[in-house]
A and B are shown apart, each in its own frame.
Chain A
Amino acid sequence: MKAVCWYGKHDVQVKEVPDPQILNSRDAIIKVSSTAICGSDLHLYNGYIPTMEEGDILGHEFMGEVVEVGSDITNLKMGDRVVVPFTIACGNCFFCKKDLWSACDNSNPTPETAETLYGYSGSGLFGYSHMMGGFAGGQAEYVRVPFADVGPMKIPDHLDDEQVLFLTDIFPTGYMAAENCSIEEGDTVAVWGAGPVGQFAVKSAFMLGAEKVVLIDHYKERLDLAQEQNENLQTINFDDTEVYDKLLDLTGGRGPDSCIDAVGLESHGTSPDSLMDYAKAAVFLATDRPHALRQAIHCCRKGGTVSVPGVYGGFLDKFNFGAAFGKGLTFKMGQTNMHSYMPKLLSEVEEGNIDPSFVISHRLKLSDAPMAYENFNVEKNDWRKIVLTPN
């Protein structure tokens, strides 16, 4: 089969590789019909995530048709059309039973590195480094899905791939980010990052009853898209507006009740702290560039919540923890507990309350992946969300 393989920083190639096989009795093999490139795939592309190995197959947003099942799989049959969550979970452990699916104890075959770095390992992830299990990803014609009795969710025929593909990661991720804000009547939610996760966080914050939502970015096309999608949205372009002042103004001096960092470890910006982050990351004195997170902490009102769906991997420099303490902030973060959200959000799509396909900017073939990665990495205005189809 053809698969998108990682060979190093800025080196992604489509290769002919062996077809995946059933390795455990709870596996299934899916023939991929649609797969997407995630902003977090760019962290791999840019070499920010350690423990990648040459030849690793990328991709954690994918869906398709069941073509083979292991001996313990009874919930799926050949031909079922499914979406697959990017977090792999066993459904049996303490964490899965508590709905903390992304903290699954049993799905990472190689938890030792994460245990050394983090104390404990989270769940295994598709196509996201050997620290997270080294599972082959879904930017391929076929993919092995472990714990297939727990993860894959069946999709009714009348829904298109594009309407449901983002149930595999970014829609639930944006939704959990908004849910983590525990939105109350009259709340203002500020969202940093108008990428796909930020777009879904905005939609979800409105769905969950936020009175005001403010989106912050400097890619005009992305802010414009969000404005088209959400009539009542306020946007701030940080290239020409002072974010803190504007947020104070929009909230009558109170500050946003919750702040969502949908940017993560490769934050952009030209403020002094951003430039220091670039410099330090370049000489390895820090691993992550947390400018958006610092600003979110600074802007959040007293007693508010900072919710972080953006991915972080290592150590943050000049982290304004004093501000967080001084204002008594609550922090909520982590990989999405996918399995808890997928059925509910599928209903939202089925009932026509949201059509997640609005984030798509490019529809390409799997074989176009190297070009897509290259462009997505540098052309953030035009390249927002890429869907790849095999063949």
Chain B
Amino acid sequence: MHHNETYDRNRQRFAGDSSTNIHTAERVASAVSGGALIAYGIKRSDLTGALISLAGAALALRGTTGHSQIYDALGIRTASSHANPASPYNKTWLSGTVHVNKAITINKSPAELYQFWRNFENLPQFMKHLESVTASGEQTSHWIAKAPLGYTVEWDAEITSDVLNEKIGWKSVEGSDIPNSGVVEFLPTSNRGTEIRVSMTYESPAGKLGSLVAKLFGEEPAQQVGEDLRRFKRLMETGIIMSVEGQTSGRKEFAKARAASA
């Protein structure tokens, strides 16, 4: 196995200690976006700008210290709870096993949601990074995911459990580039719709493929799964995923485009 030294160093640098209450990836994101916010805020030189700068400073601080006063106040702890602090491997998203648990409530019946999900070919409609899923048999399917720079990552999966309108489990077949497995449950509530609970595990390989996978699933896999579930909810409840992409505005790129076409 070609273990990349930089990754090891990063692991140590960002490995949390007991005083941190923020997940490592979030810390990096905080530090970077905090700095960007400070710069942007100063550039604006108005009240909003100053507020943004202040927020940026708070973010940068939590990024470098791994400790958020705001999170303390709100009782939030995002630092990995399943990881053993002694083991650097559990603290990283760059390689190793990643577990994600996420839930959302959708104002539809378990049967409607189960049926849509059970047809895996529907999944790319709301799972942003999937290019396609093709059923290859009763219990098997072929998955293609988009990766940066035009790469794709592919694997075959088989169904491990299938309880009508209640639960679907899957896992990649042996020898996959990204061994992964998961289960989605469709739990009825008394009058609040259906709770969707997703539990996923994947093995992120080391090396070049590993970094592709890291980018593919993002630095915050739980957040990404959360965003996919939100798209699922919107698609199921409203039939569309509301967007403002491509809408008009008075931003300069329009002026430039017009100048170019004139």
Within 8 A of B (CB), among A268-306: 281, 284, 287
Known contacts A105-B233, A287-B51, A146 near B242 by CB under 8 Å: yes
Flag B24-47 by CB within 8 Å of A: 1 or 0 each.
000000000000000000001011
Contact between A54 and B251, CB atoms less than 8 A apart: yes
Contact between B247 and A23, CB atoms less than 8 A apart: yes
Residue A13 interfacial (CB < 8 Å): yes
Contact between A106 and B193, CB atoms less than 8 A apart: no
B residues within 8 A CB of A109? 242-245
CA A147 to CA B244, docked complex, whole Å: 12
Of all chain B residues, the one with the shortest Cβ separation from A282 is B47
Could you tell me the distance in whole angstroms from the C-beta of A141 to the nearest C-beta in chain B? Answer: 11
Contact between A49 and B48, CB atoms less than 8 A apart: yes
B residues within 8 A CB of A287? 51
Contact between A47 and B237, CB atoms less than 8 A apart: no
Flag B190-210 by CB within 8 Å of A: 1 or 0 each.
001100000000000000000
Contact between B244 and A134, CB atoms less than 8 A apart: yes
CA A97 to CA B230, docked complex, whole Å: 18
Within 8 A of B (CB), among A132-170: 133-136, 144, 146-147
CA A134 to CA B105, docked complex, whole Å: 25
Flag A42-56 by CB within 8 Å of B: 1 or 0 each.
000011111011111
A residues within 8 A CB of B111? none
Known contacts A25-B239, A92-B238, A146-B242, A136 near B47 by CB under 8 Å: no
Contact between B244 and A15, CB atoms less than 8 A apart: no
| Binding stretch for chain B, among A3-11, A223-231, A248-256, A369-377 | A3-11
Choice from A13, A25, A52, A284 contacting B250 with Cβ under 8 Å: A13
Of all chain B residues, the one with the shortest Cβ separation from A25 is B240
Residue A124 interfacial (CB < 8 Å): yes
Choice from A1, A3, A19, A47 contacting B48 with Cβ under 8 Å: A47
CA A371 to CA B251, docked complex, whole Å: 21
CA A133 to CA B234, docked complex, whole Å: 15
A residues within 8 A CB of B247? 20-21, 23, 135-136, 144
Of all chain A residues, the one with the shortest Cβ separation from B235 is A106
Count chain A residues whose beta carbon lies closer than 8 angstroms to a beta carbon of B: 53
Residue A90 interfacial (CB < 8 Å): yes
CA A78 to CA B231, docked complex, whole Å: 31
Choice from A9, A72, A93 contacting B107 with Cβ under 8 Å: A93
CA A187 to CA B238, docked complex, whole Å: 42
Residue B248 interfacial (CB < 8 Å): yes
Residue A18 interfacial (CB < 8 Å): yes
Residue A363 interfacial (CB < 8 Å): no
Contact between A5 and B249, CB atoms less than 8 A apart: yes
Of all chain B residues, the one with the shortest Cβ separation from A5 is B250
A residues within 8 A CB of B234? 106
A residues within 8 A CB of B245? 23, 109
Of all chain B residues, the one with the shortest Cβ separation from A20 is B248
Residue A94 interfacial (CB < 8 Å): yes
Residue B52 interfacial (CB < 8 Å): yes
Could you tell me the distance in whole angstroms from the C-beta of B176 to the nearest C-beta in chain A? Answer: 32
A-B contact pairs, 23 of them (CB 8 A): A3-B248, A5-B250, A7-B250, A8-B44, A9-B46, A20-B248, A21-B246, A21-B248, A24-B240, A54-B252, A55-B250, A57-B248, A57-B249, A72-B239, A93-B238, A106-B233, A106-B238, A106-B242, A108-B242, A124-B242, A134-B244, A136-B247, A147-B242
5 shortest A-B CB distances, which residue pairs? Answer: A5-B250, A55-B251, A55-B250, A9-B46, A15-B250
Known: A26-B240, A50-B52, A55-B252. 11 other contacts (CB 8 A): A18-B254, A23-B244, A23-B247, A47-B48, A54-B251, A72-B240, A92-B107, A97-B107, A109-B242, A135-B244, A146-B242
